[in-house]
Structure 1
């Protein structure tokens, strides 16, 4: 029996240009709660789920549920202005055209994920997708990636993950899945490589241009 081969994709900051908006809205939610955290520190935590991010930034001083709810309200104001990153839909279609399963391994909440999928505009080639409700722990825990594998039937030994944060790279490593890092989420190539990314590209369009010589080539 031939193993199902596929590419798993993070969504926020990898396919949709949201990373800095998440940083600003988390910063504002934290500020409204009376805490002062430099925005650069907030940005470096983006990619973690809210269950990890609040503790990462505030230790035991933050109310995760309250801050997460405040962030969600602030972030939702931007939904209608969100845009896909260059080449996002074309990259997903390029993978599907090569016979690979395309899996969205997102920890966004269900309503937000629905919006992000509409923004990308390539749902016809998406094999499966996850949301925060599909996993107990968020990145850097590998739960979302495992849920994506389970839901899609993709063999982890025949998969690659594409993400934009060190938390993506760390989660992927815990399942021994090679991770391609994209710098469009604001984390530099050197840092992604140091975290374990097998290679890096500027954005989805750059990865698509190099697809047949990238780490994804081993799946073909």
Structure 2
């Protein structure tokens, strides 16, 4: 049994869970909650960076980060399932990179307001991160991915769905008012990929 160290709110962990489901591998993975803020949590031994997700293989080897994990899962599933082997892989990996970058910028905004004392916060730095997300949303709204049909989804689309889901979770879905094409795309993704709804958690204030 593979062990996935993650947390319910992690968009990167969610990406791995959805990828595993699409690939038919969910029943081979056990989910183990990780607390990256706890110095006693073994995640800091399993991944010296102390970051999630991390996938513990049956021989004890640990894979990280999410991009490495999903590539491994695709390999286990036979290859070329969610990460094509042909030239289209680079467009798909580029979309994954943009979605992951949106998540990075969004998480940094959350950490700034959750972790740093108010008197030491830097509004300009938060705005700098927010602008990354805004630019990515604008580019994607102008050229949204194909509408999803069945479980024929790739890792770029999975990553994007998780990035938009994280914006719903932490930023009250404000992206939707300016991104109708992306909103319609996410609706189609959710309609065809059941694990997206299964991995959703309720928004919380921060």
* Pairwise TM-score range, normalised by the shorter structure: 0.3 to 0.5
TM-score with structure 1 length normalisation? 0.32
TM-score with structure 2 length normalisation? 0.33
Which fold has the larger relative contact order, with Cα–Cα distance below 8 Å and residues 6 or more apart in sequence?
A: 1
